[in-house]
Chains A and B, each alone.
Chain A
C-alpha cells in the first residue's frame, strides 16, 4: 500500500526537541547531493516564474510569421515557434503555468485529502470504515478520463483545471493522514484536550493536522510532479490551458508538429519539463529519507 511507507513519526508536540527534529531533517537533506541540486534548480525556477513578466525578452503572444521556426540565435535564445513567437519567452511563461497548476492543484488535493483523512481517522468506527470504503472504490476509477470529459465539456478553464486535477490526487493523502491521525489520537496531548472538553473540530484542526505535517509535505512533493505531468498530458492532447496561454505540454505538442524541420522547438520545452520533473523527484526522495531516516532505502 502506498500509504504505509510514508507514515513518519513526526510528533512535534510530544517531542520536546520538536524544532531540532526539523533542523535534523534539514541537515540530512543537505547531505543528499541530488536532492540539493534538485531543490536549487526548483528554487531558481520558481524565482524565474515569478519574475517572468519583467525578465521575458519578448511578448509571449507577439507573432512574426517571417520568423517561422527559426534556429536558436542571440536574439532568440531558444529559437522561435510556428507562429514566429520567441520560444524562450514561451518556455518561461509555460513554466509559470505548469508550476502554478502543479502547486495549486496539489494544495487542493492536500486540503481535501487532509480534511477527509483527519475526519475519518478521528471519528473512527463505522463512519471511518464507510469513508475509507468510498476511498477504496474511488481508487479503482481512472480519474484522468473524468477530467478529460470535464475539461472538454466545461471549457478549458484554468480554475476548473486546478480543482479537477486536485480531485484526482487526494485519495492517497486521505489514507496517509487517516493513518497518522489514528495513531495520534491515542497520544496523551490529544486525550488531554478531549478530556478538557475541547471541541472536536478544534482537536482535529489544531492538534491532529499540524502533527501530520511531515508525511503531508513528503507526499505533496510527490503530488506536484504528478499533477504537472497530468496537466502537461492534458495540454499535450489539446485539452489543457487555452491558447494563447501555453503550458509546457502545449509547447511540446507544438514542437512535435515541426520536429522534423526544427527539433529545438520540441527539445527546449521537453527539457524544461524533464528537468523539473527530475528535480521534483529527487527532492521528494530526499525529503522522504530526511524525514524518515529509518525507512531510508538500502
Chain B
C-alpha cells in the first residue's frame, strides 16, 4: 500500500466531509421550528437579541460561511440551549465518558468473542461450540434496547448484583458496557469461529504440520493471522454500531455521555450541538475505517489498494 493511496483516501474524504456539513447544516435550518420556540414567554425584543447574539438573524448563507470559518479553527460554536457553554466544552466533558463506555464495550466484545469463537473452533460440534453459538444468535437478533433492560431487570433489580444507573464506580460500568458490547461479542465470536475453521482446512496448515511444527506454533503463527482477518474487517462497522448503540445504552443507564447529549439536543433543536456531535461521529467513523483498512493491508500481504 503506497503512501499515495493513503493521501488519496484522505483527500476523497474532504469533499464528503463538506457534503455532510452542508447537508446537516441546511437540513437543520430548513426544518420548521427554531431553538427558542419553546420559550414562549420570551418577549420579542429578547428573542431578537437572542437571534442576534447567535447570528440567527443573518441570511442563511452567511451563517453557513461563518460556521465553516469557525470550523476551520475547530470551533464548533456556542450551544443555544446551555447558555455560556460552547459545543467544544460540552463535547470535552461528555465525550470521554462515551469513549470509555465504547472502549470497555469493544474490550468485552473482543475478549468474549475471541475466546468463545476460538474455543468453538477448537472443539467444533461439541458443547463448547453449540452453547456459545446459540447464545450468539440471541446477541445478533436482540437489539441493545432489549438486552439492556433485560439485564437491568435480571442482574440489577431481581438479583441486585450490580447498580443499574449512572457512571461512577467500576461496578456501575459493568452492565452498560456489557450491554453495549454483547451484540459485537456475538458477531466477533461467529467471525472468529468461521475464520479459524476455514483456515484449519487450508492446504498451508497441512504443510505446516508436514514440516513437523508444534500445534501451538501452527495456531499462533500460521492460523491466527488469516483466521482473524474477518474480525478485523468487521471492526469498522462494529465501531460505527457502537456509536449508535451508545445512544441507547446511555439513555437506558442514565449515563451523561455524548450520545444522550446528541439525542437531547436533537429534540431541543440545539443546532450547534447536534452539528458538532454529528461531525465528530462522522470523523471518528472515518478515522476508524481508515485504521482498519491499513491494519488489513498490514495483515494480508495479498491486498493492495490503488
| A residues apposed to B, CB below 8 Å | 137, 140-142, 144-146, 148-150, 152-155, 225, 229, 232-233, 236-239, 249, 252-253, 255-256, 259-260, 263, 266, 270, 273-274, 277-278, 281, 297-298
Task: Tell me, in angstroms, the Cα distance from A148 to B261 when the chains sit together.
Answer: 13
Inter-chain CA distance A273–B24, complex, in Å, is 32
Contact call A252/B149, Cβ cutoff below 8 A: yes
Check if B20 is an interface residue, CB within 8 A of chain A: yes
Besides A232-B145, A253-B145, 11 new A-B residue pairs in contact (Cβ under 8 A), listed by A number: A140-B285, A142-B240, A144-B244, A145-B278, A146-B24, A152-B269, A237-B248, A256-B145, A259-B157, A260-B157, A278-B137
Residues of A within 8 A of B289 (CB): 140
Pick 26 A–B contacts, CB within 8 A, sort by A: A137-B16, A140-B13, A140-B289, A141-B282, A142-B243, A145-B244, A145-B278, A146-B24, A148-B266, A149-B278, A152-B31, A153-B27, A229-B143, A233-B143, A233-B248, A236-B145, A239-B267, A249-B145, A256-B252, A259-B149, A259-B153, A259-B157, A273-B146, A274-B142, A274-B146, A281-B140
**Which A residues are in CB contact (< 8 Å) with B267?**
152, 238-239
Q: Given contacts A142-B240, A152-B267, A237-B251, are A252 and B145 in contact (CB under 8 A)?
A: yes
Chain B residues 25-79 with CB under 8 Å of chain A are 27-28, 30-33
Is A270 a contact of B150 with CB atoms below 8 Å?
Answer: yes
Provided the pairs A140-B285, A144-B244 are in contact, do residues A266 and B153 lie with their beta carbons within 8 angstroms? Answer: yes
Q: In the complex, what residue of chain B is closest to A140 when comparing beta carbons? A: B289
Seen from chain B, the residues whose Cβ lies within 8 Å of a Cβ on chain A are 12-13, 16, 20, 23-24, 27-28, 30-33, 137, 140-143, 145-146, 149-150, 152-153, 157, 194, 197, 240, 243-244, 247-248, 251-252, 262-263, 266-267, 269, 274, 278, 281-282, 285-286, 289
Whether B282 contacts A142 by the Cβ 8 Å rule is yes
Task: Chain A residues near B31: list those with CB within 8 A.
Answer: 152-154
- CB pair B266–A239 under 8 Å, yes or no, is yes
Q: Which 5 pairs, one residue from A and one from B, show the smallest C-beta to C-beta distance?
A: A153-B31, A152-B266, A277-B141, A236-B145, A270-B146
